Amino acid sequence: MRFSQRPTPKFSGGTYSEYWEFKRVFQRHVGMAQIPDTLKLDTLLAAYAGPAKDALRGCLQILDPKAGYKEALDILEKRHGSKHTYVCQLIKKALRGPTVRLSDAKGLQQFSDELGNCVRNLKVLGELRQIDTASNRDMRPINAAKYTRHPYNGVKFIYLYKVLYVA
């Protein structure tokens, strides 16, 4: 029986992005570990401090530990794991940030990091096509001479990022 010595991730019922990050890290450190399902469920209960805590405690009553652990994961997925909402949040964050001027190296780097994060997460989810969908839906005329970040220039940068780094 091997269990990771790394700290267990925590989740308190925050944003969809926080849940998906928690889910991935928990799965890597606990879910894939060669440990009994009872210990996985106990670890999940200790790691979660959100509004579904009582529902998760109810999973301890299920006689089959594997079924209890699966039920607990299903409860969290229903409460916090809407893939559609997560994809929308990723794209919205990339498209709707503060203004960034071309001369603002730090702001441009942060924007580039946000776009990279968005594209990587969309690829992992198999939803990269959502960039095109969001871009077509949100496209508005913009002043090409100004490379400032505002709600509609994000579309241009997403296309640029997609052409340079994804295609």
- pLDDT for 129 equals 77
Measured distance CA(110)–CA(121) in Å, rounded = 16
Query: Which residue range(s) make up the domain with 150?
Result: 83-166
Whether 57 is in a domain gets the answer yes
- pLDDT for 162 equals 53
Whether 45 is in a domain gets the answer yes
- pLDDT for 44 equals 92
User: Along the chain (167 residues), what's the average pLDDT of each consecutive run of 10 residues?
Assistant: 67 86 90 92 91 88 93 92 86 76 82 83 83 50 37 51 52
* Residue 11: φ, ψ to 5°: -145, 135
Residue 33 and residue 69 in one domain: yes
Whether 152 is in a domain gets the answer yes
Whether 8 is in a domain gets the answer no
Whether 10 is in a domain gets the answer no
What domain count does the chain have? 2
- pLDDT for 157 equals 54
Helix (H), strand (E) counts: the chain: 8, 0
